[in-house]
Structures are given as structure tokens and as C-alpha cells.
Structure 1
Amino acid sequence: MKYVEITGLYKSFGDTFALENLNLSIEKGEIFGLLGPNGAGKSTTINILLSLLEKDRGNIKICNQELNKNNANIRAKLGIVPQDLAVFEDMTALENVMFFGSLYDLKGKELKEKSLKALEFVGLEDAKKLCKTFSGGMKRRLNIACGIVHEPELLILDEPTVGIDPQSRNHIMKSIKTLNKNGCTVIYTTHYMEEVEAICDNIAIMDKGKVIASGTKEALKEIITDKNKFEIMVNDITEINEKELTAIKGIDSVEFKGNKILVSIDREVNGLNEFILYLSNKAIKILDIQSKVLTLEDVFLNLTGRKLRD
């Protein structure tokens, strides 16, 4: 069952298109990833879904109902975990969650019970602690508790792991998977491709307001099955000229990390031999060479010519 359907969505700010003919289809019960760099249009899409921003044109259906400002029943089914922390520093964890729960008409005993349940779910059982005493990771988890207190059918998370420690990130990833197993449909936006690969069923890669590719991570990687990627460690890179390397037939892209060279090579062209010959002619020794697994970062680079985090 299609839970979210977006067709022909446009949004511009002045002469600049934030979204241009955007089409997305999200199944009920899946974790759907929106992957793209800052400025790709992910947050604009979310704000339109939440009726915080008006579209220029296009159609949006949520649970087979046309989305408009009068659909209070649809909005009650949505939960949002924004990129910017939406918590009050001088309130306790429980007070924060109860405040946001009250916005969804939760009251009295039900409000407190669901608020405590949400805090327990994200691992913040000390409900009476002031938010200003929390670490960045704890605030991120509180942000999630505020977004799920009313038990939404559709949860939208916009960059929920920005600037936090690995332990909190792992906790958030596990929490999202648990919510999904309990029946919650999830839209997850990020520019961290490793997170999308870890938890998402289907993925849409966005760039400059458009979906440039979509499907499972396996299907997306099929786009670049004509590439091989190697990591080559050398003794010295000072004599290497990037323009000379990329001029070699079959060399698709080159990246330097210390004394390591990451190179993408067309499979049908014997570019690796030419690459090694180039290094030999420069009297550069190869210390190690490894074949690397292709990632969604490679897909994005192949489609746009840019790194995801440029």
C-alpha cells in the first residue's frame, strides 16, 4: 500500500527552484531514505509534507487522502524530528515531551503515561533532569521522544544524528528500526550515506531539487556496475599530478587520502595497468592495493560528478 505519493511537486523561491517536478512513492511500513547534500531539497519536501510550506503546484497524498491545510486528521498521524533541536533548555525532559504531546490533544493521565513511555523508549528514564544538563546526544534523543509521544503512523526524521557521538548515533539507529518493526512508516533524510545503507528499505537520491535516482541500495549500485574502485597506498604522492591521472583512458575519478589514492576505473578499459605504469614512470612505489566495495557515495559521484558532502 502506498502511504505517501508525491507527483509533479514544484517549489521555487524567487527565480530559484527548490523542487522541480519531484516524484516520490513511499510504501506503508518501510523506512524510506532521502539522500542528498545540503540544498538538495530534502527539508523543503518535508516542510511541504508538514504543511509548514505551501507548494507551488503538484499533488501529495498521505494514506490515500489529498494533503491540504484542512486535513487535521492527516497531520495527527505525522510525527516530526527536526534537524534543529526543538527542546526547551529550562524544562525537564518530561515537561518537554508533555508539552509536545499536548499539541496533539493528549491530556491528563494518558499524556503523562505516553510521555514517560517515549522517554523510556529513547533511553532517558531520568525524566526530572533539566534539558540544559544534557549532552548533545541526549538532546537528540529527547528530540525524538517529543516527535513520537503521540505514536504517529508516519515519522519524519530530518538529519537526526548531526553532531553527536557514535554511541548516541547507534542508539538512534536502533530506536528507528524498533519503531519501524512496530508498524511506523519512516522517512529518513540525511547526507550520511552509511546511515541510509544501514536502515533504509528504499532510497531516493536528490540533487538540486530533483530525484536523480531511486530504488533499493542494491539497485542503485547497479547504476555503476561498469566501475571498479581501488585503494592504492604509495610511498610518496608529491610527484603525482591529478590532471595527468584523470587523463588516462578509463580513469573515472581520483581522490587522495594521505598516501592513499582512491581510484574509480571503467571495467571495460584496462585503466589499472596504465595507472600502475604512470606510478612506475614517476618512480613511485606501490605499498598496497585493495579492491573496494562500491557505496552510495560512489553512485552520487557517478551521477553528479561531485561528492555527496561537497
Structure 2
Amino acid sequence: MDDQQRRRTLGEFLRSRRERLTPREAGILAGPRRRTPGLRREEVAQLSGVSVTWYTWLEQARDITVSRQVLMSLARALMLSSVERRYLCALAGLPLPERPADGGPGPALQKLVEALEPHPAYLLDANWDLVGWNRAEAGLIGDPGQLEPAERNLLWLVFMDPAMRSLLADWHGQAQDLVAQFRADARQRSGDPRFEQLTNGLREASEEFRTWWAAHDIADFGSSRRRFAHPQVGALTFDYVKLAALDAPGIKLFACMPADAGTAAKLPALQLCAAGARGGVDVTATGAAATP
């Protein structure tokens, strides 16, 4: 869509929202001789604090500058939904507002994670708190359910759990990469109480995190391969797949797919490890022999 077409679509969208909004809904007293069923342009302009000429030009697809502040004023005046506001921003060529997170992933996502057995899978929220996992994931990293809620965080585990340092075959490289990914993923979390609690706690408790966080390195999540040295199962190599849940803003699903036949053969043993205490059980006693 070129700029002219985008401006034309923006004007048509604003006009359609203006014409569907009644004066009563907007808190305007409609006169007895009113001809239009919706709002007039001057009424939208007055409600949003802009000039009638400027708003008219906007509907007419004129090439004018639109700021986020003014656009959000229009969105409030027209009583747009969150989906409509995102669409409005896209048409205006502005960055999309972050979708608000809801109360959690919901039971359907947790069922999906469980359905991925025997492959390890888990759910992270916007602050990388673990909000869902399956038995295979618990067998891989230990059961997060046995931790205090504030400790059920991927970054916290990587930096503060001694078992994770030996579990990750390349702890230094993977931990540093995770910090860069977290900074990119949480760039709009500043001011969030949980985000501040987590990052402040890690800076105080971990010299490595404090150093790497101060470096301000940024990295997007790409195709990721991680190697583990599991204390019971042995060497494991997984390719990580990341999916975003459209119906649960802020929630991401990670699935661990075996990168080789040896890892695939050991998947049932991870589920057996989940039955024991954090860190796993001796699966060799059950017949699922660990191999290097």
C-alpha cells in the first residue's frame, strides 16, 4: 500500500467510525433538525481538540503530519476499540501500541503445551516469567512448580540456579545471548513493577548479569539451538521454536524439538525425571539408561 492509498484508507476509516457514532454515545446533545445520523466533522474536532480544517484534511487524505498524541485523541473521541486503535496507527504510519496483557495464558494454551509431550515446552509472559510448562520441560530444567513464584522466571533460573550453570553446555554464551534477547523483548516494560523487581534483583545478585545488562546489547530471537548436559539423561541438543499467542498478548510458547536422533530417543526419560525432585531422578534405575 503506497502513501496515498494509505492516507485514503485512513480517511475512509475515520469517516466510517464518525458516521456510526451517535451524538448520544459521544455525550453530545443532538438538535431537532439534525440530518446526519453520526457525528459531524466539527464535533469530532472539538471532542479531540484539533481544528476542523485539520481534521477535514485528514479525512480528505491530504498529506499532513499526524502525531501519536493527536491520533490517540481522535481514537478516544471516536471510542475506538484496542484493535481499531492499532489499525489506526498502522494506517497513519506510526508504531503499533503494545497490546495489553491479560490475566494469563488460559487453559487452552496450557493444554497445547501438554499436548506437545514428549517434547519439552513452556510458556513465558512479557517479563519471561514461566506461566506454563509440561512434564518434559520439568524433567529438563526441574519442576518450576516447586519454586517460589518470584523465582519462576527464565532469566532468574539461568543466573541464580547453580544447577542451570552445569545443565547448559555453553552457559556463558547462552546466558549472555538471553540477556540481549530479554532487553529487546522487554524494551517497553520500563516502569512495570515486576520488570523492575526482576532486573534490579538480578543486577544486585549477579555480576555477570550486571555487566551484560549494562552493555545494552540487543538481539532478536532467531533459530536457536541449545545443548544440555543433563545429570541423569546425558547430552541433549534441542532446536527451539518460538510462537506468539494472538489471543493472549505478551504470552509466548517455546517448543524444544530434538536436533538429533540421540536426543529424540531420550525424550521419554525426561518425563521420568519430572516425577522426581527438582533436578530429576535416577532414570537408570527405571531402565532408561543415561548415555553420554
TM-score under structure 1 normalisation?
A: 0.28
Pick 1 or 2: higher relative contact order, CA cutoff 8 A, min separation 6. Answer: 1
Higher strand share: 1
Higher helix share: 2
Higher CA-based Rg = 2
